[in-house]
Amino acid sequence: MSGTEDGDPSRPVRPSGRTEEEVLDAIEKRRRRPHVKLMDKQITLAHGAGGKSSHVLVEMVFLKAFDNPVLDGLGDAAVLSAPAGTRLAFTTDASVVKPRFFPGGDIGELAVNGTVNDLAMAGARPLWLTASFILEEGLDTDELTTIAESMGAAAKRAGVAIVAGDTKVVERGKADGVFITTAGVGALEREIELSAAAVRPGDKVIVSGSIGDHGMAIMIARGDLELETDLRSDTAPVHELAAALLDATGEVRWLRDPTRGGVATVLAELALAAELGVVLDEAALPIKDEVNGACEILGIDPLYVANEGKLVAVVGPDGVDDAIAALRSHPLGAEAAVIGEVRAEPPGMVLLDTAFGGSRVVDMLAGDPLPRIC
Amino acid sequence: MRFVDEYRSGEVAKGLAEQIAGLVEPGRHYKLMEVCGGHTHAIYKHGVEDLLPDEIELVHGPGCPVCVIPMGRQDDAIAIAMDPNVIFTTFGDMMRVPASNGSLLDAKARGADVRMVYSPLDALRIARENPDREVVFFAIGFETTAPSTAVTLLRAREDAIENFSVFANHVTIIPAIRSILDSPDLRLQGFIGPGHVSTVIGNRPYEFICRDYGLPIAVSGFEPLDVLQGVHMIMTQLAEGRAEVENQYSRVVRPEGNPIALKAIAQTMELRTTFEWRGLGFISQSALKLREEFAPWDAEVRHAIPGVRVADPKACQCGEVLKGVIKPWQCKVFGTSCTPDRPIGTCMVSSEGACAAYYNYGRHAGRRKTEAADVEVEVAAT
């Protein structure tokens, strides 16, 4: 504090030239808009303590990236209006993927698309998301900003608003960088019931494109395998694709997003729930050569590898042509294919007719060959 | 995909299957053992049995490296892993193998630093990166994986890496085959020989099978057409009254094997007088330990190991499965208290284990065959 009476006598006293009024106004202004810039290079426990640092982080990183008036209000809860009588779909999804950045996407994009896709699989139009962050002390602030911007961009692409959020910081070593939980609400605008109970023998199983891209891209991005490929995660919002499918035919019985556990697992769940059999045709499965090759090396079956931008649908036989045409007319569904059929026998089981001419069981995955892929 | 699709052609398989059916002598039953777990996996994954006539039965052999490790050794591994200064590195399959008190995965949850690696050289890298910690590699496998352990040991010595050691559990295939041939429980007509082991040891060590036991063997690859062609070669030999070592997998296996790999093994390891195999008991000269001069890298020398022999769980019949005496589904606990999510025996853990392969891929195959036969009968009756 220079310029006080008992300060260094060698330094001249230089009044600022501002009036007291001006100084007080400046303080108030600063108090309302604390910092114009987030100066911290790393996340510290203070950013989760609810004080000034938290405020700055929210304002400079999240509000900026998510950019919408509901969130800008910063209330304790977002207040939203849904059209009267609208049925709502509501879901939540946690993302803990490692590595956080991978070819084709990052944890932020994945967190948004994951919830958007879960809503889409209920036949809903995604409307609002919330995002809750658990950050590890020491996380690079620029990295968090990149992730938040990626979430903002993904939300914009999917036509949803991130309307509420929360941030906690835990000590170094108690989390791995960033964990993101998103929840989402969507509106059901069609009078449809998608469920395993609606599935009948003779229905066809359709997948919207190549399988296993996400899981294998992550596995390779970890670098443990020292494989080099051009493989990218397929992370994408599939709500438009789902909408195109549902608009094209009223014969859609069941929809799933084949994430962890892959196509095999969602179909095994369907077979059990519907007490019907599903028979897949190995030769019809759309699988990229890179995915097939990596799976061969690792001894993993691509049917069990995660997807983040695909849908699996069961469609009544009369709607199959329309369904395939509608899917293929959308860029995300260009490689859509019929991969199998629902049969009465054997109930509760998925079988695969191998390209070799044999047949085998496709059960749910035991254990976890690919930890933390989403 | 090149180098894969051509070995999975359904068209070629169909033709080969017809030829095999033509080699069957009416009224005769053929029991052929696929020695290797990789074959078992391929057979179930691609449904190879669906293409074979009923007279030919494929019997699963002892060549699954995870399956043959006895529980006592797994306990030893966990004891090493629980040392707070140890980073315990292992192939993924071994993490789920149940020991007396849980698996390595359970030990990891209790705080042990257990890490999955794809190669022993990865374990050596971890040792370089963590000079303050003791890094142990859990070495398992037949002659297929022993050379990579050997090369890692040589590298460790060359680079004077002092915080690295190997817990050696390498086993050799020939004594296991001999033990099965001498077992009174099983009468076999031929062997589908282990392709990858043979890339290292060559074809000649199998000659005793033909000479002493009068049985044919076809060393075969791991694609479904390889297996089917192996069956065809054995059936041809049987039809012609021959018993020879034949090489189906000539695109990879040379008669003399791989002398460089064999030399690396001989430099670093030697035969143990005896070693316990799960279900098969103690088999003399059937496993490898580190040579004296590699004692500084021998986990059994560097770490306190309980070394207690533990009986296999009573209900578990992995031994009978490994010897091919019973089919996986004939085991008392198969599919009930022993499943891939909660395995009791090793055969249910590894994807090469007969029980896991049968559970994951193969079940209902018999039923499907019966159904198909019923349909044919119905058609014939109408």
Of B275, B350, B288, nearest to B318 by C-alpha is B350
A173 close to B (CB below 8 A): no
Closest Cβ opposite residue B50 in set A225, A359, A366: A359
Of A233, A53, A38, A42, nearest to A154 by C-alpha is A233
Cα distances from B347 to residues A243, A265, B78, B331, B350, in angstroms, run: 46, 23, 19, 11, 6
Inside any domain, residue B12: yes
Instruction: Examine the fold and report which residue of B284, B314, B344 is the final residue of a domain before the chain moves on.
Output: B314
Shared domain check, B357 and B256: no
> Mutate which of B6, B8, B116, B359 to disrupt the A interface (most A C-beta within 10 Å)?
B8
Residues of A in contact with B4 (CB under 8 A): 292-293, 296
Residue A34's pLDDT is what? Answer: 54
Inside any domain, residue B375: no
Query: Distance between CA B110 and CA B291 in Å, rounded?
Result: 34
Shared domain check, A177 and A239: no
Divide the 374 residues of chain A into consecutive groups of 10 and give the mean pLDDT of each group: 50 76 82 65 90 87 90 87 89 96 96 97 96 96 96 97 95 96 96 93 98 94 81 96 96 96 96 96 95 86 95 97 98 97 94 92 74 66
Q: How many domains does chain A have?
A: 2
Shared domain check, B325 and B199: no
State the smallest CA–CA distance between residue A271 and chain B in angstroms: 15
Residue B372's pLDDT is what? Answer: 52
One pLDDT digit (tens) per residue for chain B, 382 residues: 777 788 888 899 999 999 999 999 999 999 999 999 999 989 999 999 999 999 999 999 888 888 899 999 999 999 999 999 999 999 988 998 889 989 999 999 999 999 999 899 999 999 999 999 999 999 999 999 999 999 999 999 999 999 999 999 999 999 999 998 998 877 899 999 999 999 999 999 999 999 999 999 999 999 999 999 999 999 999 999 999 999 999 999 999 999 999 999 999 999 999 999 988 889 999 999 999 999 999 999 999 899 888 888 888 888 888 888 888 989 989 988 898 888 888 888 887 889 988 888 877 765 555 555 554 444 444 4
- Which CATH number fits the domain that encloses residue B246? 3.40.50.11740
Residue A2's pLDDT is what? Answer: 44
Q: How many domains does chain B have?
A: 2
Closest Cβ opposite residue A358 in set B50, B96, B118: B50
Shared domain check, B257 and B109: yes
pTM of the model: 0.84
Inside any domain, residue A29: no
Inside any domain, residue B242: yes
Shared domain check, A228 and A122: no
Shared domain check, B245 and B145: yes
Q: Residue A341: beta bridge partners? A: A204, A279
State the smallest CA–CA distance between residue B44 and chain A in angstroms: 7
B351/A367 Cβ within 8 A: no
Query: Distance between CA A311 and CA B355 in Å, rounded?
Result: 33
| ipTM of the prediction | 0.81
- Which CATH number fits the domain that encloses residue A257? 3.90.650.10
* Chain-centre distance for alpha carbon A205: 24
Burial A192-229 (b: 16+ CB within 10 A, else e): eebebebbeeebbbbbbbbbbbbbbbbbbbeeeeeeeb
Shared domain check, B306 and B325: no
Nearest 5°: the CA angle B275, B281, B285 is 30
Residue A215 and residue A305 in contact, taking contact as beta carbons nearer than 8 Å: yes
Instruction: Examine the fold and report which residue of A163, A188, A213 is the final residue of a domain before the chain moves on.
Output: A188
A356/B47 Cβ within 8 A: yes
Residue B116 and residue B128 in contact, taking contact as beta carbons nearer than 8 Å: no
Residue B368's pLDDT is what? Answer: 56
Residue identified by tokens 């059916």 is B21
Name the residue range of residue A257's domain: 196-361
Query: Distance between CA B22 and CA A68 in Å, rounded?
Result: 74
- Which CATH number fits the domain that encloses residue A97? 3.30.1330.10
Shared domain check, B210 and B123: yes
Shared domain check, B299 and B186: yes
- Write out A167-226 in H/E/C secondary structure: EEEECCCCCCCEEEEEEEEEEECCCCCCCHHHCCCCCEEEECCCCCHHHHHHHHHCCCCC
Name the residue range of residue B171's domain: 1-314
Residues of A in contact with B9 (CB under 8 A): 356
Residue A84's pLDDT is what? Answer: 81
Two structure tokens written together for A240: 């438009």
Shared domain check, B110 and B34: yes
Inside any domain, residue B372: no
Shared domain check, A111 and A182: yes
A358/B224 Cβ within 8 A: yes
Greatest extent of chain A over all pairs of C-alpha atoms, in Å? 97
